[in-house]
Structure 1
Amino acid sequence: MMTTPSTTPLPTSPELFEEQLTPALRSVVGWLVKDTAEALTLLAIAVGLFLLFLVLRRVVQTVVRQAVPGPLWREQLAEAVGRTRLWFLVLASLRVVAGAGQPPQVLTSLITFLFTIAAVIQVALWVQSLLMGVLRARSERAEDDTALALMRGLLSAAVWIIAFLTLLANLGVNITGLIAGLGIGGIAIGLAAQGVLSDLFAAFSIVFDKPFKRGDAILYEPGAIGVVEEIGVKSTRIRALSGEMVIMSNAKLLSATVANYATFERRRVLLRFGVTYETRPDLLEAIPAMVQTVVETVPKASFDRCHLVGFGTSSLEFELVFFIEDPDFAAMMDARQAVILGILRAFDAADIDIAYPVQVEMLAGPDGKIIDPRDTEVQQVKSTARRS
């Protein structure tokens, strides 16, 4: 006689409810009915703790705004404290009460489970708020920058991935294999996209270190000046002075020596000029004071120094240094022009001649001796007079 093996049927949803959930509910209801006074007392304590936590949140915000040095961290910490959620405070209050009282084990386990999830999510919200606040404070017009938008996304993703792994670990899940898989995948992606990642991290460096920002005029190559129009994920777009759009990779731009002309508070002007060798020493000595008077009459110009610095090939060389208390390039050029015109007018009034290159040709006679051209002209005049 052939027999068939008996099989145990899988429990259906009603059976699962009967076997697991029904006893738990009965224990909780029984505790509420039997120990109503204790349940109400614990509930009142939980409500009191919740209200205390609300007050404490407001007090911590006030203390942070008054005690933490530096406006950057003060505002970000206060904002992070303000992001403490009400459901977290509720579960925190219930967790404290469950640990202090003697509710059924199933209720304590449920509260602990929910509090663990809430705590991980709340910490992730705090960290995300701090990171986003610092990123926003370190960058101007962050909402318009592609690199900043991507950075916010990457940081948020990193925070929530870490929070998810932490939650799994706290719930008893073995995440060693998952972490190993993520590590191997990250290495593979990094090797396959080295160029892209180098430009991406260069964009992050530009955003955080801020060597320049959108709208700044920079010298990005020797002799090449342009205005930054966009800082992207892989490249930065620069509008050259001649009008064309220059697109440079972030890594190349960051490795170069960049001069930022937008950070001027004032501009230094170095001006050299020369006067003729026939100028008298007393006039040479008066020139610095004369030039200082000219500079001080020009708006936004501050005199620094003026000196006779050497003997040139065709002039006595002076060096003038003054400052323009305005970062605008056009304002500097206007002031420079006004100073030059003022010097010319002052020299004209004092009968001082600006030097210019002069070349004199000397003639030699049959014997090789130099003949002064002026003597030759005199002799020609005398010879012409004799003939007439």
Structure 2
Amino acid sequence: MVAPAPAPAPVNGTEFLDDRVAPAVRSVAGWLAEDTGQAATLLAVAAGLFLALLLLRRGVQGLVRRAIPSPVWREHLAEAVGRTGGWFLALASLRIVAGTGSMPPVLARLVLFLFTVAAVVQVALWVQSLLMGLLRARSERADDDTALALMRGLLTAAVWIVAALTLLANLGVNITGLIAGLGIGGIAIGLAAQGVLSDLFAAFAIVFDKPFRRGDSIAYEPGAIGVVEEIGIKSTRIRAISGELVIMSNAKLLGATVANYAAFERRRVMLRFGVIYETPPERLEAIPALVREAVEAAPKAVFDRCHLTGFGASSLDFELVFFVEDPALVTMMDSRQEVILGIIRAFADHDIAFAYPVQVEMLAGPDGRIIDPRETAPASPKRAARGA
């Protein structure tokens, strides 16, 4: 029978200090004592490199601001360059000089370790700065939206998770199992929260694609119009014109056909009206000019056209089109009212009558023959005397 191998004795803190730390400290101290001149030279060179890198950072930042034409990219790249930490530049300087002299291996490994950590952290800061800058540029007026705040948090978490995994991989840690576990966990969470994630990504699409913003008037269903009050993580809150607060899921709202009335630069107005058939031809020809004067007298109204379009059932029909150079609904209604009143005044001055529906009823006798109502009307005394 083979006896089991004895378990390795645990290493306590005192043994670790005696076996690892103390020899490293003695090695570094001995190098400093024996090669003081070389250590001072390396330190001076590292300090010079550090100052040069500081000047290089400032120069690159200025070059970015001068050379990049796009104002968005110019500011974001300049901000990212400005986030280059002095601690990173100092460790980069030490890393450069670490392999040039007879520095003890333990000190060189320590510098390499610190530089690796600093490089990963610095790259994560650069990426985070660029992503946050682009997020601000795309979101513009939606800076305080809940969905945007969540997007910042998710991007920050993703950047630092990738940075941590990269750091562990560079330090020799096997991260395959960790990545597999994260992937399986992500799939499970995604399957369990499909509806929430669908609304969440719809919120991100609304924030970035900007089909509408908070404060915009939109038509979100047939006959339903309201003002967007808040774009949340799962739902959007819309204040209907009748006063109630409508809460719609982001996925449903994004999948619908949305008319954004806030995107107007100017409004097009069409008016149809009719005049009676008894209107003389010369007055019909004068109507477009009269209507044009009424439009031009209205505030912010621009005339487009006015034409006689056809023969109606009881009218000669005209069609007027004009624009109001203001996106506000109230301004458009004010201008429309002024145009209508101006047309009424102009027609009254020129003795032009608006048409209205007229219906004539004819009577028929037992044999189906149409009877003229004038023939059945009672005769006046004068007419009766003439007949006698």
TM-score by length of 2: 0.93
TM-superposed deviation, 1:27: 2.0
| SS of match in other structure, 1:139 | helix
Greater shift, 58-67 or 303-312, is seen at 58-67
Q: Deviations over 1:296-319 (max 9, x none)?
A: 111211111111111111111111
TM-superposed deviation, 1:272: 0.9
CA contact (8 A) 1:42 1:97 kept: yes
Partner of 1:360: 360
Partner of 1:304: 304
Partner of 2:265: 265
Q: Aligned equivalents of 1:298 and 1:57: distance in 2?
A: 60
Greater shift, 369-378 or 41-50, is seen at 369-378
Taking a change above 3 Å as real, the CA distance of residues 7 and 246 of structure 1, as seen in their structure-2 partners, is closer
CA contact (8 A) 1:98 1:108 kept: yes
Partner of 1:276: 276
Q: Aligned equivalents of 1:333 and 1:99: distance in 2?
A: 79
1:1-388 equivalence runs, <5 A: 10-365=10-365, 368-374=368-374, 377=377, 383-386=383-386
CA contact (8 A) 2:214 2:231 kept: yes
| SS of match in other structure, 1:271 | strand
Q: Aligned equivalents of 2:133 and 2:154: distance in 1?
A: 15
CA contact (8 A) 1:271 1:321 kept: yes
Q: Aligned equivalents of 2:21 and 2:244: distance in 1?
A: 72
TM-superposed deviation, 1:105: 1.2
Taking a change above 3 Å as real, the CA distance of residues 140 and 382 of structure 1, as seen in their structure-2 partners, is farther
Q: Deviations over 1:204-223 (max 9, x none)?
A: 10111111111111101000
> What amino acid is aligned across from residue 240 of structure 1 in structure 2?
A
Greater shift, 133-142 or 50-59, is seen at 133-142
Q: Deviations over 1:327-374 (max 9, x none)?
A: 111110000000000011111111111111111122335654434445
TM-superposed deviation, 1:141: 4.3
TM-superposed deviation, 1:70: 2.3
Q: Deviations over 1:235-281 (max 9, x none)?
A: 11111111111110000000000011111111111111111111122
Q: Aligned equivalents of 1:282 and 1:381: distance in 2?
A: 42
CA contact (8 A) 1:269 1:321 kept: yes
**Gap regions ≥5 residues in structure 2:** none
Q: Aligned equivalents of 2:381 and 2:201: distance in 1?
A: 83
| SS of match in other structure, 2:26 | helix
| SS of match in other structure, 1:214 | coil
TM-superposed deviation, 1:12: 3.7
Q: Deviations over 1:135-181 (max 9, x none)?
A: 12211444421111111111111111111111100111000000001
CA contact (8 A) 2:142 2:214 kept: no
Greater shift, 316-325 or 20-29, is seen at 20-29
Greater shift, 272-281 or 170-179, is seen at 272-281
Q: Aligned equivalents of 1:384 and 1:44: distance in 2?
A: 136
Q: Aligned equivalents of 1:169 and 1:7: distance in 2?
A: 30
Q: Aligned equivalents of 1:169 and 1:182: distance in 2?
A: 15
Instruction: Indicate the percent of aligned positions where both proteins have the same amino acid.
Output: 73
- Total equivalences in the alignment: 384
Q: Aligned equivalents of 1:48 and 1:237: distance in 2?
A: 59
| SS of match in other structure, 1:306 | strand
TM-superposed deviation, 1:52: 1.6
CA contact (8 A) 2:142 2:207 kept: no
TM-superposed deviation, 1:15: 3.0
Q: Aligned equivalents of 1:240 and 1:376: distance in 2?
A: 60
Q: Aligned equivalents of 1:368 and 1:9: distance in 2?
A: 125
Taking a change above 3 Å as real, the CA distance of residues 6 and 64 of structure 1, as seen in their structure-2 partners, is closer
Taking a change above 3 Å as real, the CA distance of residues 104 and 314 of structure 1, as seen in their structure-2 partners, is same
CA contact (8 A) 2:294 2:343 kept: yes
| SS of match in other structure, 2:99 | helix
TM-superposed deviation, 1:119: 0.8
Taking a change above 3 Å as real, the CA distance of residues 180 and 379 of structure 1, as seen in their structure-2 partners, is same
| SS of match in other structure, 1:361 | coil
| SS of match in other structure, 1:100 | coil
Taking a change above 3 Å as real, the CA distance of residues 8 and 345 of structure 1, as seen in their structure-2 partners, is closer
TM-superposed deviation, 1:185: 0.6
TM-score by length of 1: 0.93
Q: Aligned equivalents of 2:278 and 2:64: distance in 1?
A: 73
Taking a change above 3 Å as real, the CA distance of residues 212 and 385 of structure 1, as seen in their structure-2 partners, is farther
CA contact (8 A) 1:142 1:149 kept: no
CA contact (8 A) 2:198 2:251 kept: yes
